[in-house]
Amino acid sequence: VKTRFGFHVVRIEHRVAGDTVPFDAVEAEIAQYLEARVRHKATQQYVSILASQAQVEGVDLGAANGPLVQ
User: Is 49 buried (19+), middle (13-18) or exposed (0-12) by CB count in 10 A?
Assistant: middle
d(CA 35, CA 14): 33
pLDDT at 68 > cutoff 80:
no
Higher pLDDT, 69 or 35: 35
Q: What is the pLDDT of residues 16-64, one digit of tens each?
A: 999 999 999 999 999 999 999 999 999 999 998 888 887 777 876 566 5
Type of residue numbered 66: G
